Structure 1
Amino acid sequence: SLSSDQLPEQQLNDYGNNFIRTQLVTVSGAAVPVPYGGKVRVVNVDIDPDALYARGLSAQDVSNAILTQNVILPAGTVKIGTREYDVATNSSPEALADLNRIPIRYANGATVYVGDVAFVHDGFNPQTNLVRRDGRHSALLPILSNGSASTLAVVNGARQLMPKILAGLPSSLKVDFLFDQSVFVRAAVTGVIHEGVIAGCLTALMILLFLGSWRSTLIVITSIPLSILTSIIALRLLGQSLNVMTLGGLALAVGILVDDATVEIENNHRQLHLGKPLRQAILDGAAEVATPALVATLSICIVFVPILFLTGVGGALFAPLAMSVVFAMLASYLLSRTLVPTMVLYLLAPEVRAREAREAVGGAPPRRSLFGRISDAFEAGLHRLTGTYEGALDWALEHRTVVLLVFGVFAIASLGLSPFVGRDFFPAVDAGQLRLHVRAPAGTRIEETEAYFQRIEDYIRQVIPAGELNVITDNIGVPNPINLALSDSVTVGPADGEILVALKTPHGPTAQYLKRLRDELPRRFPDCEFFAQPADIVSQILNFGLPAPIDVQVTGPLAESEKNFQVAQQIAADLRRVPGAVDVHVQQILDAPRIMVDTDRALAQQVGLTQRDVAGNLLISLTGSGATTTNFWLNYKNGVSYQVVVQTPQHRLSSLDALHRTPVAIAGQSPQLLRNLADFRRTVTPLSLNHYNVQPVFDVYAAVQNTDLGSVSSRINGLVAKYTKEISGASSIVVRGQVQSMNQAFLQLALGICFAILFVYFLMVVNFQSWLDPLIILMALPGALAGILWALFVTGTTLSVPSLMGCIMAIGVATSNSILMITFANEQRHPEFGGHDARAAALLAGRTRLRPVLMTALAMLLGMLPMSLGLGEGGEQNAPLGRAVIGGLLVATFYTLFFVPLAYSLLRRTPPTNFGDEHGHE
């Protein structure tokens, strides 16, 4: 933001465009459009229509004179004697006042100069874009990140360069950074890191309690950062940056990364308790879990594969998250097969030797510390839990049919929650910013629009407490076309504008303030139309540059535009009655006021004029000569070339009579007043024309409030079907925006999940050499899906792309736990381990694998707990992911511990025959 108590608005724009912007573009990754607001500095040649008419001249004559006599052309060089001289002419005056001395015409022994019919001065173009900051006129210079550039890097580069730039500018110029998106990005990244750290600490504490050994815990928590570091290196090699999504994936992976190392160590402890030496216990434990752990790891990785093939913004956002999880998982598996056994050999050796020494002499165990006593109590409690679980599982095996039926009915009945769990593309993020678009009656001049904005801004200050309000910025009117191409602005005229509100931290819920403004502003200002636009960077990306998440497009041939516009208005009227639909409006305005000048071509021809002469003179008088020909004057003091604009000053065109008296002429002829050549009438005109695939399009925009996007989308589909019957076959009605992206992403993810489950099944078929065992393993998945639905329903969370990500994660982890359960059950069927029948093997597998299953599940649940709360800046984005994982894994764990053993005992009547190949036993 550029403001000053002393400098005029044209200098604010000039400094922003020609001195600050030209240096900011050197920041790597920065794209800097021209400034908003201020007044574009030019050399004004303000013509006097009466003086022109009195001297037989027109605006075109003045423009031609300046165009031919104010030129910047080199003359060349000349060689005289021993020297070579550069030759220059006074083709362009050095002093601005000298432009008044340019001759226009010589007649009757007298020369008419520009100064006789015009006033040349340092001025500005008529203002079409006005920026106010807290009620004061200013200029706004946007800084965008270009392509894949880091937002933080661009902002830091701009901030570092700004003091150097300001050192060469007047001290009265004040520059402030407003609406800094890096603040939100930095806070969101910090929040994700904090969530990961908290998750890691909670997980480490849980492992410490379960293993009862700080040495074993150290081994596990050492493998986690190494896995994360490996993933970061892989992401860097693929050109990915550390952002909210990649860090979110790493935070998500913390709970899973525990699994590989924990299973390895827990199995080593079990081998040690069987009386084996440490080295042999490590080798046997590693051989026992290597293959099932690999299958479990690959199963989790496979379920993330569909995300890599997501298209659109969903793929751009979540593919890096999926890659970070997959790379961390693969690294964790490799470390658990290499580093973890090595650390176990060296770190657990003292504990093993101390225990063996006590057993050799029959001595009593040493006095336990406080933690030792806590660990003993936890171990005793876990032992009681194991006994209780074994009894419950034994009872369930006795009543297998009833229990299986209950589990099945629960999973099927939970599907009934689907209609009550809404659908959104992405959850809303509270970035502490509001962006309100205000549209005054069509044709309102920018000065009157500013008055509207002042009154609206005063009311906003009544709604939002002063202690929470940081800054209010108004951006009124149409900016430079370059800025329109680089923003999602839908401003179409001087009656349009945006109010940007930034809140301080902490602040109340932004959605509540927005709801109150939506309710009250139309009532207080019935002449204006209001709708909110995405303010934060995430929402802007998700909307693909559209001003609203819902865009109903009515497209058709030009001949049917009138009918299609009526249909668009009818759709908007019906859509306003849909519960939850807000900010409904038709973007195109077709009734802006116009004054039509109907030239009598025959009459003009009689006085030697053509339609082109009339239009050209009128264009120069009203818009300026810059619209037809460009001419520049070099300011030798600051080195900037400013456009020279011949134009009738606005204060001389404040009435219809002044327009009538516009002189029209061509060189060598006496001018004619415009009223003598044309008739004038009032009519209307479109303010903007939009096209889609060449054809005219009318956009019905809408947003949602207090509901989900999916429910509103369903109602919109009904409206589309209704009004499609009322348009011709050459026209069409299509719903675009987030609705279209959401439906595509949901379809892609649903198909991807189905294929992922199929791939996981075939992977397990290859590993188990059985079609039945993988089917039993996948029987935990209905429980995961039921848990996800219950978690979303209870927490009031909608089904979105992040929650589907959580669904994928829950499926992977549930499959992983079930693989370990069935693998151990199959081992117990082997004669080497007793040759148990299916029921006994299921019971033994449940009792033995209870600890690792609980450790994996609790590690994941604790790891997801900070994320599910969504407390950090932008935490709302990943909260559905955490909640889906917690709900899915919570229920899936019960299915793994009960439903899977019951199904195994029922379906696996005959023992497997490929023990050696399957489990690594010779």
Structure 2
Amino acid sequence: MKITFYEGTEMGEAIASINALSNRSQVFLPPGAPPPFIIRFDASSQPVGQLVFRSNTKTNNQLQDIANFNARPFLIKIPGLTTAPPFGGSPRTIEINIDPYKLRSHNLSPEQVVEAISRNNITSPSGNIYIGDKNYLTPTNNTVKNIEELGDVPIFKGTVDNVYIRDVATVKDGADIATGYALIDGKRSVYINIAKAGNASTLDVVNTLKKQLPDIQRNMPDDVKISYEFDQSVYISNALKSLVVEGVLGALLTGLMVLLFLNDRRAALIVIMTIPISIISAVLFLKLFGQTINIMSLSGLALAIGILVDESTVTIENIHQHFAMGKTKAQAIWDACKEIAFPKLLIMLCILAVFAPAFMMTGIPGSLFMPLAMAIGFSMIISFLLSQTFVPVMANWMMKHNVVNCENPAHKEDRFTKFREKFSNFLSGLMKFRKPIVGISLIAVILAGAGLYLITGKDVLPTSNSKQFQVRLKAADGTRIEVTEKKVKNFLELLKAKVGKDNVAISSVFIGQHPSTFAVSPIYLYNAGPHEALMQVALKEFNGNSDELKDELRQYYKEKMPDLQLSFEPIELTEKILSQGANNPVEIRVSGMMKKMNMMTANKLLAKLKELDYMRDQQIPQSMNYPAMQINIDRTRAAQLGLDAQDIAKSLVAATASTRYTNKNFWVGGMMGIAYDVQVQTPQNILNSKEELENLPLTKNQDRPVLSDVATVLPTKEMGESYNLGTMGYTTVTANLHKKDLEQASKDVKAAIASLGELPKGINIEVAGLAPVLDETLGSLASGLLIAVVVIYLMLSATFQSFRVSWVILSTVPFVIVGALVALNLTGSTLNLQSYMGMIMSVGVSIANAVLLISNAETIRKSSNDALGAAIEAAKLRIRPIVMTTLAMVAGMLPMAIGFGEGGDQVSPLGRAVIGGLIFSTFSVLIVLPLVFGWVQKKASIVSNSLHPEDEESIHFVNLKK
């Protein structure tokens, strides 16, 4: 049972309430049923690896005991680590295996064996006896010391000639009835699923565990070897490596860009030096605010590398401009920093405002967006502070400047100066046609943006080409676990033949179900029955497309093993968190009070989904036709023979299952004094036919009646699984996607549901899986971007004391969005959380460049009263810093956009969106923005609207000195 609470619920109170309700429900459970186990499970509390136990001499069940008692005590000491019991073995158990033939020969029933064990192997307290000066304890051997002694337990009381357990059963130190196996590389083994707590760092948990492995290994028997497999922290480690690689490449490319424009190696070095300082400082602040190093925070830091150079580059370029004016070094540095201090502060605030909506987001989008926003925010703040402190100090120490060599007041004649003049003339020519150019440009870009948005695919996160995959294998309902195991081994052999025998690094399979003793285990890994297996495979080398590989495997096994059904599932940690328990991106729930009607509707919907050529693994995962032997008791006949339903049920439990829960009994053994269950059962290889079941004895001390005397046994089909939402049952239809975005799939699913027509009364259909997450994510991001634009608009209006100037600056935003969408479509990327972040960041950078130009243009306009000339002059003066920062940021984002390093495909859409947005942003800021400014501000007043009482340029200023 899974209970989901609304956000903001006090979980301590919730767990206490559930505990009280579960205790109350205990009276409604069958006798012997253990109390419910309540555990808090967060969506991010997912397995991050497997601790595997291998041995050439130990059985699975022995490894289970070793893993449980020798290894788990070490794991509970690791902060942030949670584990379920070991997977793959059955708990050690003392088996009393009854022989039905011997029972009949002694006129005994299974229930009599159970009663004998219960009476003669008990745990009871003892007292004291006082003899002389001593106080003696009085321990008894109520509990047998040696397992063999259980065979000497008499079945009858008050008779000399007795029958003993050894006469009708064998006693064995074994294990509970096997319900599931684990295979590691095709061999039976045991592993512990390593999971992290919701607020813990995956990297910290895994690294701490790896340090503990030598200590755990020392506590293992000599022939038991342990290893840590399917390490999910490698994705974060790879992202960390990619961040370092991208940071180094970005810094070098940025330095080369500064060197190209300014021809100053020392200036380029200063800009490069600010990058590691900002990143390290941002990581420190993330730690202080309780964040961890994860995929999203690393994406934020990777994105910040490109924007970090903006602040330092603008400062360095402005210092060079003041050098060219013939000022002394100190004066030039002082004037340059003073001149751009406020515009840069405004720029920083605008970029921070873009990410401010992260603090208002809720649910999964908020959880994912917050680390990224905080990483960028801290990096930007530190970068701004460095550009106003570290950069000027280092410029004074490192940069060379000779006033004598400066041509004052004119700038040096170089190629860029000539280009600047040509650009100024070009802009002057366009200014004559500013209105039609601006009008046509804005209409065209808005229409293009709307069209591109509609055709761009949308996903929650970008797809990644991993070397690992997870697949669920399903044989026919009711297939015995041994048969399923053979099919799985055949599957593995065929897989090696397909991908290369030496190319499979490791495979891990869990077949069947967990032992009922381990109530927590299905939270982490769930199979419907002995006919299902969940397989994880890691390849050594794989450089292709994972979707294509999966599709090849589907076709391959359809030919080789047509009786086996495949369904691929997410294996990466981020995908598992986003899916919130769903095994497939497409999941549809058909609910209603009549389960047969639910099934009929689900089958109709399944047929519709199979018509979509890009969908794969379409199925109804529940076992709806599980084979069964229906036992119908004739209560009248049973009563005539001195039996009732309870007597028959007790004998059936001992014969078809065990007395593990209906009659608890323990044996305490070993040096550690661990209590193990003693259970009475019939060996599965004996009760292997309908006739054997019908001949089961039911009455004490008589060979008749047997089961067939009081009941009929009929083969039938039963519902193997029952899913309920509250009290209402539901059936699930699931599917995977092949090279299709989630939004389009969601639209087609809704169309398929609509095509069913009017649903039968009482039937409801709900779309689950990743579709609601996508809608919530894109909705939050879109509203967040709108809020950010409004905040920036108000901030600009307050700064420039003009609403019109604010609209001028924001006119670049449509161009940025179109540029980002163009880049995504050209590279085959979708609009997802990563690319949306890139788009938002490029909007912030575009506004920053616009502020840099418009603040200068406003200053010139107010002094000259010429808006057209001010726009051209401001563009002429600011073209170098704008082009420099744009090219530097593009250079910094290029390694990310290409997807260098492992895991690069997960963040490449972010870099592509930034680059596309910046290219269009540069065009709009340098070409369209001056035209918009000239048009809007041509007749604007040069008198300030400031309310500052001492501002002499304000219309509200009153000179009291006259």
1:239 paired to 2:287: no
1:356 paired to 2:407: no
What amino acid maps onto 1:46 in structure 2?
Answer: N
Residue 585 of structure 1: CA displacement? 0.8
1:85-124 alignment runs, 5 A limit: 85-106=136-157, 109-124=160-175
How many angstroms apart in 2 are the aligned matches of 1:581 and 1:848? 55
User: Structure 1 residues 547 and 91, CA, compared in 2 at 3 Å: closer, same or farther?
Assistant: same
2:856 pairs with one of 805, 813, 824: 824
Q: Give secondary structure in 2 for the equivalent of 1:142.
A: strand
Q: State the partner residue of 1:370.
A: none
1:392 paired to 2:422: no
2:500 pairs with one of 458, 465, 468: 465
How many angstroms apart in 2 are the aligned matches of 1:426 and 1:302? 23
Task: Note if contact 1:827-1:915 (Cα within 8 Å) is conserved in structure 2.
Answer: no
Residue 661 of structure 1: CA displacement? 1.3
- Name the Cα RMSD after superposition: 2.5
Q: State the partner residue of 2:188.
A: 137
1:855-870 alignment runs, 5 A limit: 855-870=884-899
1:782 pairs with one of 792, 814, 817: 814
Q: State the partner residue of 1:623.
A: 657
1:337-352 alignment runs, 5 A limit: 337-348=388-399, 351-352=400-401
Deviations 1:617-660 (A, max 9, x none): 10121110103122111223453322111001111101111111
1:117-266 alignment runs, 5 A limit: 117-266=168-317
1:659 paired to 2:693: yes
Residue 503 of structure 1: CA displacement? 0.5
1:534 paired to 2:570: yes
User: Structure 1 residues 912 and 653, CA, compared in 2 at 3 Å: closer, same or farther?
Assistant: farther
1:499 paired to 2:499: no
Residue 225 of structure 1: CA displacement? 3.0
Residue 745 of structure 1: CA displacement? 0.7
1:431 pairs with one of 456, 459, 466: 466
Deviates more, 1:563-572 or 1:810-819: 563-572
How many angstroms apart in 2 are the aligned matches of 1:630 and 1:724? 54
Residue 411 of structure 1: CA displacement? 0.9
Deviates more, 1:911-920 or 1:411-420: 911-920
Deviations 1:183-216 (A, max 9, x none): 3332222122221222122212222333333333
Deviates more, 1:770-779 or 1:292-301: 292-301
How many angstroms apart in 2 are the aligned matches of 1:742 and 1:782? 23
Task: Note if contact 2:631-2:711 (Cα within 8 Å) is conserved in structure 1.
Answer: yes
Deviates more, 1:527-536 or 1:266-275: 266-275
User: Structure 1 residues 915 and 771, CA, compared in 2 at 3 Å: closer, same or farther?
Assistant: closer
How many angstroms apart in 1 are the aligned matches of 2:311 and 2:586? 45
Q: State the partner residue of 1:514.
A: 550
Q: State the partner residue of 1:799.
A: 831
Q: Give secondary structure in 2 for the equivalent of 1:222.
A: helix
1:281-300 alignment runs, 5 A limit: 281-300=332-351
Residue 699 of structure 1: CA displacement? 1.0
1:722 pairs with one of 755, 765, 771: 755
How many angstroms apart in 2 are the aligned matches of 1:315 and 1:162? 36
Residue 732 of structure 1: CA displacement? 1.5
Q: Give secondary structure in 2 for the equivalent of 1:754.
A: helix
1:453 pairs with one of 480, 488, 500: 488
1:609 pairs with one of 635, 639, 643: 643
How many angstroms apart in 1 are the aligned matches of 2:745 and 2:846? 34
Q: State the partner residue of 1:365.
A: none
Residue 488 of structure 1: CA displacement? 5.3
1:766 pairs with one of 782, 786, 798: 798
Task: Note if contact 1:192-1:872 (Cα within 8 Å) is conserved in structure 2.
Answer: no
Q: State the partner residue of 2:616.
A: 582
How many angstroms apart in 2 are the aligned matches of 1:587 and 1:606? 45
What amino acid maps onto 1:333 in structure 2?
Answer: F
How many angstroms apart in 1 are the aligned matches of 2:785 and 2:180? 50
Deviates more, 1:632-641 or 1:318-327: 632-641
How many angstroms apart in 2 are the aligned matches of 1:858 and 1:224? 16
Task: Note if contact 2:690-2:713 (Cα within 8 Å) is conserved in structure 1.
Answer: no
Residue 896 of structure 1: CA displacement? 0.3
How many angstroms apart in 1 are the aligned matches of 2:109 and 2:437? 97
Q: State the partner residue of 2:49.
A: none
User: Structure 1 residues 492 and 506, CA, compared in 2 at 3 Å: closer, same or farther?
Assistant: closer
Task: Note if contact 1:663-1:674 (Cα within 8 Å) is conserved in structure 2.
Answer: yes
Q: State the partner residue of 2:10.
A: none
Q: Decide which structure has greater helix share.
A: 1
Q: State the partner residue of 1:366.
A: none
Residue 535 of structure 1: CA displacement? 1.6
Q: Give secondary structure in 2 for the equivalent of 1:194.
A: helix
What amino acid maps onto 2:836 in structure 1?
Answer: L
Q: State the partner residue of 2:8.
A: none
Q: State the partner residue of 1:316.
A: 367
1:687 paired to 2:720: yes
Q: Give secondary structure in 1 for the equivalent of 2:96.
A: strand
What amino acid maps onto 1:781 in structure 2?
Answer: V
Q: Unaligned 5+ residue runs, structure 1?
A: 363-375
1:545 paired to 2:578: no
Q: State the partner residue of 2:744.
A: 711
Query: Structure 1 vs Structure 2: percent identity of aligned residues?
Result: 33
Task: Note if contact 1:210-1:855 (Cα within 8 Å) is conserved in structure 2.
Answer: yes
Q: Unaligned 5+ residue runs, structure 2?
A: 1-51, 954-962
Residue 669 of structure 1: CA displacement? 7.2
What amino acid maps onto 1:356 in structure 2?
Answer: V
Residue 513 of structure 1: CA displacement? 1.9
How many angstroms apart in 2 are the aligned matches of 1:314 and 1:14? 42
Structure 2 length normalisation: TM-score?
Answer: 0.89
Q: Give secondary structure in 1 for the equivalent of 2:155.
A: strand
How many angstroms apart in 2 are the aligned matches of 1:921 and 1:530? 78
1:739-758 alignment runs, 5 A limit: 739-758=771-790
Q: State the partner residue of 1:268.
A: 319
Residue 529 of structure 1: CA displacement? 1.7
Q: State the partner residue of 2:866.
A: 837
Residue 241 of structure 1: CA displacement? 1.4
Task: Note if contact 2:270-2:395 (Cα within 8 Å) is conserved in structure 1.
Answer: yes
Deviates more, 1:461-470 or 1:787-796: 461-470
How many angstroms apart in 1 are the aligned matches of 2:673 and 2:207? 29
Q: Give secondary structure in 1 for the equivalent of 2:414.
A: helix
How many angstroms apart in 1 are the aligned matches of 2:878 and 2:952? 19
How many angstroms apart in 1 are the aligned matches of 2:522 and 2:212? 23
Q: State the partner residue of 1:371.
A: none
Q: State the partner residue of 1:650.
A: 684
Q: Give secondary structure in 2 for the equivalent of 1:31.
A: strand
1:477 paired to 2:502: no
Residue 883 of structure 1: CA displacement? 0.5
